[in-house]
Amino acid sequence: MKQLETLVDSLLQPSAALVADMAALEGDILILGVGGKIGPSLAKLARQAIDRAGVKKRVIGVSRLTEPGLKEQLEQDGIEAIAADLMNDADLQALPDVENVLYLAGTKFGTTGKEAFTWAMNTYLPGRVAEKYRHSRIVVYSTGNVYPFTPVAGGGADESTAASPLGEYGQSCLGRERIFQHFSGKYQTPLLVYRLNYANDLHYGVLLEIAKAVREERPIDIRMGHVNVIWQGDANEMALRGLLHCAAPAKLLNITGPETAPVKWIAREFGKLFGKTPQFTGEEQPTALLSNAAESFRLFGYPKVSLKQMIGLTAAWLEQGGRTIQKETHFQEREGQY
What's the whole-model pTM score?
0.96
Number of Cβ within 10 Å of residue 120's Cβ equals 14
**What local confidence, expressed as pLDDT, does residue 2 receive?**
81
**What local confidence, expressed as pLDDT, does residue 3 receive?**
85
304 touches 11 (CB < 8 A): yes
φ, ψ (nearest 5 deg) of residue 25: -70, 130
* CATH homologous superfamily, domain 2-200+229-258+291-304: NAD(P)-binding Rossmann-like Domain (3.40.50.720)
176 three-class SS: helix
Dist. CA 242–CA 43, nearest whole Å = 14
Ordered alpha helix ranges (H), the chain? 2-11, 16-24, 39-53, 70-76, 89-94, 115-119, 125-132, 167-187, 206-215, 232-241, 263-274, 294-300, 307-319
**What local confidence, expressed as pLDDT, does residue 129 receive?**
98
**What local confidence, expressed as pLDDT, does residue 250 receive?**
97
**Tens-of-pLDDT digits for all 338 residues of the chain?**
888 888 888 889 999 999 999 999 999 999 999 998 899 999 999 999 999 999 999 999 999 999 999 999 999 999 999 999 999 999 999 999 999 999 999 987 666 778 899 999 999 999 999 999 999 999 999 999 999 999 999 999 999 999 999 999 999 999 999 999 999 999 999 999 999 999 999 999 999 999 999 999 999 999 999 999 999 999 999 999 999 999 999 999 999 999 999 999 999 999 999 999 999 999 999 999 999 999 999 999 999 999 999 999 999 999 999 989 877 888 888 887 76
Q: Where are the domains of the chain?
A: 2-200+229-258+291-304
14 touches 23 (CB < 8 A): no
